[in-house]
Amino acid sequence: MGTDTDLKVLIDRLEQTRTLSREEWSILIRGRTPELAEYLFQKARVIRIRHYGRDIFIRGLIEFTNYCRNDCYYCGIRRSNGCAARYRLTEKDILACCESGYRLGFRTFVLQGGEDGWYTDDRMTDIISSIHSAWPDCAITLSIGERSFESYRRFALAGADRYLLRHETFDEAHYRKLHPPRMSAAHRKQCLWDLKRLGYQVGTGFMVGSPYQTPENLADDMLFLKELNPQMVGIGPFIPHHGTPFAGKPAGTLELTLFLLGLIRLMLPRVLLPSTTALGTIAPDGREQGILAGANVVMPNLSPPQVREKYLLYDNKICTGDEAAESLKSLNARMKSIGYRLTIARGDSLNI
């Protein structure tokens, strides 16, 4: 095994059976070449066009708090980063974001934040039900980390439809290299299963090229995605942040991120696959390349402009260019230039 022809056979088999063994995943990831990647992307585009056409779904991302009780070694808003200027949006601020987002054409609002205890279950359910009653035709996605089954249940009852919680890495030992001892891969996975059981459309994912990550770790991540069978998968390159323990670690690559996007599209043909902000940060046309590798979602920033530069998970995070919600026109132009178009729709997953 290992020549391009052998690896093409693996890609063909992945396309047909939608699965590979742990060893095959590692061989494919380790042995990838630009030629193989092109072979993969072509298939990934055919599959995404078969299920989702050339439409790109948009999600309005509202980063409503950058306070966080966690201390993840990679993240710029970790609790020990004393240099982060902290902020919280009020319910009124959040509703104003939705209001302008709705007018721009967004039909999904993603409430994303650090794990901030100020937003108790009562406060969160108030916010969720206000959005739900004001814009009943919109989907509400939460991305606020690990909470109890009971909290997740209350949020769903209040009107939350979807939940994003990246598993970050499947492997417990690797997970412990990225997080302090009080966090565990097992608890994170438990949260994902809880969310599924409650009927959420679930999104998970991981960083590509995170410190100490091996092709075997990525193989385990692929197998976990297969087992969880989520409605969405968010992946993006790790990008160092100067105020974290991983400041000096190398960033993940565009090339490996694109390759994994293509593999995920072949493994889970109907999954929603965002071309993430991190991808747009490491290369000026990163998000277009993500679409051409099989992605079908973009998540422009709807947060109030004055807080955007404070939600810095990593260095140089883009926040005022075409990824800003106000710039949908130019984002659409970029998508048109590669043969795709933004669409106004809730964009529910076909992976049910």
Number of residues that bind ligand 5AD (CB under 6 A): 12
Stretch of 48-56, 235-243, 257-265, 303-311 lying at the interface with ligand 5AD (CB under 6 A): 235-243
163 makes contact with ligand 5AD (CB under 6 A)? no
Question: How far apart are alpha carbons 196 and 156 in whole angstroms?
Answer: 11
**Cβ distance to ligand 5AD smaller for residue 236 or 294:** 236
* Minimal distance, residue 62 CB to ligand 5AD, in Å: 13
Choose, by CB under 6 A, the member of 209, 211, 230, 236 that binds ligand 5AD: 236
Side-chain-facing half-sphere of 348: CA atoms under 13 Å: 8
Return the number of the residue (156 or 239) whose C-beta is nearest ligand 5AD.
239
Task: Indicate the SS3 state at residue 297.
Answer: strand
> Which residues, 241 to 280, sit near ligand 5AD by CB under 6 A?
241, 278
- Decide: 349 and 231 in contact? Cβ < 8 Å: yes
The structure tokens listed for 24 are 């095959």
178 binds ligand 5AD (CB under 6 A): no
Question: Can residue 298 be called a binding residue for ligand 5AD (CB under 6 A)?
Answer: no
User: Is residue 217 a contact partner of residue 170, using CB atoms and an 8 Å limit?
Assistant: yes
Q: Does 166 bind ligand 5AD (CB under 6 A)?
A: yes
In this structure, the strands spanning 162-164 and 201-208 are parallel
Q: Is 75 in the site for ligand 5AD (CB under 6 A)?
A: yes
Quick one: which segment of 123-131, 177-185, 232-240, 332-340 binds ligand 5AD (CB under 6 A)?
232-240
* Separation of alpha carbons 179 and 161, rounded Å: 28
- The 10 Å CB-count burial string (b at 16+, else e) for 150-165 is ebbbbbbebbbbbbbb
Among 73, 155, 224, 314, binds ligand 5AD (CB under 6 A): 314
Torsion of CA 285, 204, 138, 154, to 10 degrees: -150
Q: How far is the CB of 165 from ligand 5AD (least distance, A)?
A: 8
Which helix (DSSP H) or strand (DSSP E) does residue 162 occupy? strand 162-164
- Residue indicated by tokens 């926040």: 319
Looking at 196-204, 225-233, 238-246, 327-335, which segment touches ligand 5AD (CB under 6 A)? Answer: 238-246
Q: List the helix and strand counts (H, then E) for the chain.
A: 14, 9
> Which residue sits closest to ligand 5AD, CB atoms considered?
314
Is residue 74 at the binding interface for ligand 5AD, with CB under 6 A as the rule?
yes
Q: Which is nearer to ligand 5AD, 234 or 269 (CB)?
A: 234
SS3 call for 285: coil
Minimum distance of ligand 5AD from residue 313's CB (angstroms) = 4
Can you tell me which of 207, 268, 282, 292 binds ligand 5AD, judged by CB under 6 A? 207
The least CB distance from residue 334 to ligand 5AD, in Å, is: 22
Q: Is 140 in the site for ligand 5AD (CB under 6 A)?
A: no
From the list 313, 324, 325, 331, which residue makes contact with ligand 5AD (rule: CB under 6 A)?
313
The one among 57, 238, 259, 311 contacting ligand 5AD by CB under 6 A? 238
CA distance 150 to 110: 21
Identify residues 38-57 at the interface with ligand 5AD (CB under 6 A). Answer: none
Contact 164, 276 (CB under 8 A): no
Which of the 8 DSSP states describes residue 199?
T
- Taken in order 308, 309, 313, 317, the sign of the CA dihedral is positive
The CA distance from 220 to 26, in Å, is 9
| Nearest to ligand 5AD of 74, 224 (CB atom) | 74
Name the residue nearer to ligand 5AD (CB basis): 313 or 335. Answer: 313
Is residue 175 at the binding interface for ligand 5AD, with CB under 6 A as the rule?
A: no
252 within 8 A of 238, measured Cβ to Cβ: yes
| Interacting residues toward ligand 5AD by CB under 6 A | 74-75, 166, 168, 207, 236, 238-239, 241, 278, 313-314
